Amino acid sequence: MKIGILGTGIVGETIGTKLVQLEQSVTMGSRTPNNEKALAWVEKTGSNAFAGTFADAAKYGEILFNCTSGAVSLEALKLAGAENMRGKILVDVANPLDFSKGMPPTLTVSNNDSLGEQIQRAYPEVKVVKALNTLTSLIMVNPQSLAGGDHDLFICGNDAEAKKTVTAILVSFGWKSEHIYDLGDITNARGTESLLPLWIRLMGKFQSPMFQWKVVR
C-alpha cells in the first residue's frame, strides 16, 4: 500500500519507519520538497521511503497520516490540497496543543469542538479517522513493548469502512483488536483529545512518555 505521511517530526518518522518495515511504500511530506529531516529519513530507511512536499505525499498516499503539530495541521492540510486528499482516509494523529503560553500547554480547541472535527469539516470528502493521539509514538508502533500490550487505543470517525481499514493497520503494528475502542463518529475526538491535559501532566510527573491508558472493566 502507498502511504503519505504529513509531518517530519518524531511521530511521522516513527510511523513512517514502521510502515516501511511492514513493506508499505511511504512518502513523507513537509513544507518544502527538500526538508533535511525527511531526506535523512529516506537515506536511513532505504527503498520504499520517499520525501516530498505535503502535496506530493497527499497525492502519493492511498492512506494519509496527519502527523503535523496540531497547531499547524489545518495549514499543512491546505498545502496538501483538497484535490490530492479527496476520498482518501486521513488518520489524524495530531493534538491541538498550544505551547505559546508556556507549560503545560493548553488546547487550541476543546470541549464543544475538536481538531478532528475541524479537519473533517474543512475536508468533507476526506475520511478522517482520529487515532493514535493518546500515547507516545514508540508505543504506537510497538504496543507489545509496554506491559505485553495490555493497554488501550481509541478511534473514531464517520466512516465505518475507513475505521476498519485503520484498525487493520493498527493490528499490523501489533495491536490486538480487543484493545481498540471504536467510540463512534468524529465528534468523539473531543473525548480523546481531552486526554492530553492529563497525559501531559503525567508525563511531567513520570519524566517519561512511556506509559499508556487502560480502561479497566
Q: CB-based contacts of 77: which residues, under 8 Å, 6+ apart?
A: 6, 54, 66, 85, 90, 119, 122, 123
Q: How far is the CB of 138 from a second copy (least distance, A)?
A: 14
- C-alpha span between 154 and 168 (Å, rounded): 14
Residue 168 or 198 with smaller CB distance to a second copy: 198
Q: How far is the CB of 23 from a second copy (least distance, A)?
A: 30
Please name which of 22, 21, 33, 27 lies closest in space to residue 2, comparing C-alpha atoms: 27
Residue 47 or 207 with smaller CB distance to a second copy: 207
Residue 56 or 182 with smaller CB distance to a second copy: 182
- C-alpha span between 174 and 18 (Å, rounded): 11
Residue 3 or 153 with smaller CB distance to a second copy: 153
Q: Provide the grid cell at 216.
A: 479497566
Q: Provide the grid cell at 57.
A: 505525499
Residues that bind a second copy (CB under 8 A): 106-107, 110-112, 146-147, 150-151, 154, 181, 183-184, 188, 190-192, 194-198, 200-202, 205-206, 210-217
- Longest Cα–Cα distance of the chain, Å, equals 48
Q: How far is the CB of 172 from a second copy (least distance, A)?
A: 22
Q: How far is the CB of 206 from a second copy (least distance, A)?
A: 7
